[in-house]
């Protein structure tokens, strides 16, 4: 039943739902992530980041994490994004912080990179929106160098709504209309697109990675892959 859900997916549309362009992307850039949160993410993945490594962020959105990574001279950072609006916002953010990130426009399931290019890949809060998830994981494998690692951080489908509401209030510090709209997006879109641990294991088993190390927390899961 899980596999059949992908047969109806349009192969020419690389994302689920509405495109993150224009005003939608600009709203997300203001409300969907903060530099402080990206610092916590860097701390989480720092032990897997190779010194002098070539790092790829898939679906960077406004670019906060890619910029935080590029602030260290230890990494060369590239970011691949399907939204042209996000690329414009991310490039502007990078200029303001005076860091160098190569932002590329492209599809996660058909990456514009050579084989064996990157030492580490990170994808945060976007994988559930890919219309071709298996192909995206296969592309991660292809562009990783031997012994390279990838980490996908995303929401779990089985997260209780009470946990979502607490996250919006305590972590995102939202209230009023922004909080109400974000709760609606979680209920009607994000949770429906998110995966369970078992579903992720099924997806990964269809790729050369074979298996993943999955670490669950209150809100989501960290999916670790190694070539």
| Sequence spans of domains, the chain | 3-156+195-226, 160-193
| pTM score over 0.85 | no
Buried residues in 132-165 as b, exposed as e (16+ CB within 10 A) = bbbbbbbbbbbbbbeebbbbbbbbbbebeeeebe
The 10s digit of each residue's pLDDT in 54-73 is 999 999 989 999 999 999 88
DSSP character string of 127-161: GGGBS-HHHHHHHHHHHEEEEEEEEEEEEBTT--H
Bigger pLDDT: 129 vs 167: 129
Other C-beta atoms lying within 10 Å of the C-beta of residue 23: 8
Residue linked to tokens 């109806």: 8
**Average pLDDT, rounded, for the chain:** 84
pLDDT band at 145 (very low <50, low <70, confident <90, very high): very high
Task: Find out if CATH 1.20.1250.20 is the number for domain 3-156+195-226.
Answer: no
Query: Would you state the pLDDT for residue 19?
Result: 58
Bigger pLDDT: 216 vs 176: 216
Residue 108 gets which letter from DSSP?
A: T
Distance separating alpha carbons of residues 112 and 106, to the nearest angstrom: 7
The 10s digit of each residue's pLDDT in 101-110 is 999 999 999 9
Distance separating alpha carbons of residues 34 and 52, to the nearest angstrom: 26
């Amino acid at each position: 039943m899980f596999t059949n859900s992908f047969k109806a997916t349009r192969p020419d549309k690389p994302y689920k739902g509405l495109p993150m362009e224009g005003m939608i992307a600009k709203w997300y850039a203001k409300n969907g992530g903060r530099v402080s949160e990206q610092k916590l993410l860097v701390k989480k993945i720092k032990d897997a980041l190779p010194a002098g490594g070539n790092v790829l962020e898939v679906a960077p959105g406004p670019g906060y994490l890619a910029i935080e990574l590029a602030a260290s001279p230890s990494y060369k950072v590239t970011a691949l994004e399907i939204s042209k609006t996000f690329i414009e916002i991310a490039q502007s953010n990078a200029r303001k912080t005076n860091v160098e990130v190569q932002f590329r426009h492209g599809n996660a399931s058909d990456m514009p990179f050579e084989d064996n290019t990157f030492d580490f890949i990170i994808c945060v809060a976007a994988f559930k929106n890919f219309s071709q998830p298996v192909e995206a994981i296969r592309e991660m494998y292809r562009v990783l160098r031997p012994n390279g690692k990838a980490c996908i951080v995303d929401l779990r489908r089985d997260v209780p709504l009470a946990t979502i509401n607490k996250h919006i209030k305590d972590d995102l510090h939202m209230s009023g209309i922004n909080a109400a709209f974000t709760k609606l997006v979680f209920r009607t879109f994000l949770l429906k697109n998110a995966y369970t641990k078992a579903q992720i294991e099924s997806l990964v088993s269809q790729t050369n990675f074979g298996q993943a190390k999955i670490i669950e927390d209150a809100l989501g899961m960290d999916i670790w892959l190694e070539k």
